């Protein structure tokens, strides 16, 4: 099952950590990051990015269930 990736632009503080750690999935624009694709094949790299986002701005869901960031 594919995953859905979203970046909350209101929460993002443009640290750039996601784009640095997972450039195939995230890009940093002027003042916020964005997901390069909202539907992706499962990849732990994206969960790691969600876990390490300092603003908890990245959400990963699978079939409507939130799986990242992990508790």
Please give the residue ranges that form the binding site for ligand SF4 (CB under 6 A). 7, 12-18, 28, 33, 53-55, 57-58
Q: Is the dihedral of CA 17, 18, 23, 29 positive or negative?
A: negative
Cα-based torsion angle of the residue sequence 49, 8, 37, 23 in order, rounded to the nearest 10 degrees = -40
Beta bridge pairs of residue 39: 4
Which CB, 16 or 23, lies closer to ligand SF4?
16
Residue 7 CB, shortest distance to ligand SF4, in Å, is: 5
Which CB, 23 or 42, lies closer to ligand SF4?
23
Which CB, 53 or 60, lies closer to ligand SF4?
53
The token duo for 15 is 């640290």
């Amino acid at each position: 099952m594919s995953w859905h990736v979203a970046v909350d632009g209101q929460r993002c503080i443009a640290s750039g950590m996601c784009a640095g750690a997972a450039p195939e999935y995230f890009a940093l624009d002027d003042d916020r990051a964005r997901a390069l694709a909202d539907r992706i094949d499962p990849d732990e790299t994206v969960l790691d990015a969600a876990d390490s986002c300092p603003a908890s701005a990245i959400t990963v869901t699978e079939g409507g269930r939130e799986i990242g960031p992990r508790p």
